């Protein structure tokens, strides 16, 4: 069990940044674009879902 935990720790330890290293500017731009796309999708999806739920509730009543 301890050996498995040690192996997992070595894998996890190799994937994070150490010190003051930051992601390159292109990665930040891509991440921001992805985030903005996700937020816009949520802005559109939530009202559509609310309308669908309201319609279904209306049909049930």
pLDDT reported for residue 44: 97
Domain residue spans in the chain? 24-61
Listed in sequence order, the DSSP H helices in the chain are 2-13, 25-60
Supply the pTM of this predicted model: 0.54
C-alpha 17/C-alpha 54 separation (Å) is: 47
The residue behind tokens 């330890």 is 13
- Comparing 16 with 61, the larger pLDDT belongs to 61
Q: What is the pLDDT of residues 2-57, one digit of tens each?
A: 555 555 555 454 555 555 566 777 799 999 999 999 999 999 999 999 999 999 99
């Amino acid at each position: 069990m301890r050996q498995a935990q040690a192996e997992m720790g070595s894998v996890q330890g190799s994937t994070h940044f150490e010190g003051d290293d930051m992601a390159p500017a292109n990665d930040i731009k891509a991440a921001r674009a992805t985030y903005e796309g996700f937020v816009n999708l949520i802005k559109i999806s939530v009202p559509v879902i609310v309308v669908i739920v309201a319609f279904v509730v209306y049909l049930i009543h």
